Amino acid sequence: MTSLHDFIARRRSGRMIDPRRAVEEEHVLSLLEAARWAPSCSNNQPWRIVVSRNESLDAVKACLSRGNAWALDAPLILTFASRPDLDCQIKGRDYYPLGIGLAVENVLLQGIHLGLVMHPIAGFREPEVMRALAIPEDYRVHTLVIVGYPGSVEDADASVAEREKAPRERKPLEEIVRWETWE
């Protein structure tokens, strides 16, 4: 395998979070700075992030799908929202989803650097999240990033612990890459 940066090689969407350990203010600000420095079309920075760690945290957790019950231990959830007019629209292509993805990846890698579990999810009820966080209805919630410190296997649900032990797998390059043309 070719050489990958350690943060990329170690990045994993973990599910075991220590419910007793809060994420420090300076780490939260560091994650937000990482998002701020992500590339975007014309530097529009189309993402908007709602930080839930106190009053709104339980309300957001109540919007999670059953498959994300492991995230109920998280002391911090970052909600990424946007709308098309916050970024470039070139020849019918909206660039804001790309910008959000870049910001999220910056946040994930910064979290790895800080020793945090970082897990973006799509398993939530968007209208309920929007109501809980008073997000204007012309926005879309694209992802929630579940954040916390690593928990222990002993405290984890058996199915979660089993998934955490599984090796990371990726499709082979031949399946996802085309050279020079599609064919």
**What letter does residue 53 receive in the DSSP assignment?**
S
Q: Answer yes or no: are the C-beta atoms of 114 and 147 closer than 8 Å.
A: no
Strand arrangement of the beta sheet that strand 48-52 belongs to: 48-52, 76-82, 140-148, 117-121
d(CA 179, CA 183): 8
| Radius of gyration for the alpha carbons in the chain, expressed in angstroms and rounded | 17
CA atoms within 13 A on the CB side of 11: 18
d(CA 120, CA 81): 13
pTM of the entire predicted model = 0.91
State CA 26 to chain mean position distance: 19
The per-residue pLDDT for 10 is: 78
4-40 pLDDT, tens per residue? 888 788 777 777 799 999 999 999 999 999 999 999 9
64-107 pLDDT, tens per residue? 999 999 999 999 999 999 999 999 999 999 999 999 999 999 99
Q: Is the pLDDT of residue 129 over 90?
A: yes
Any residues with CB less than 8 A from the CB of 101 and at least 6 apart, and which? none
- Rounded to 5 degrees, φ, ψ at 102 are -65, -40
Would you list the domain boundaries of the chain?
A: 16-166
Q: Which CATH number fits domain 16-166: 3.40.109.10, 3.40.50.150, 3.40.50.2300, 3.40.50.300?
A: 3.40.109.10
> Alpha helix locations (H) across 37-120?
57-61, 96-113
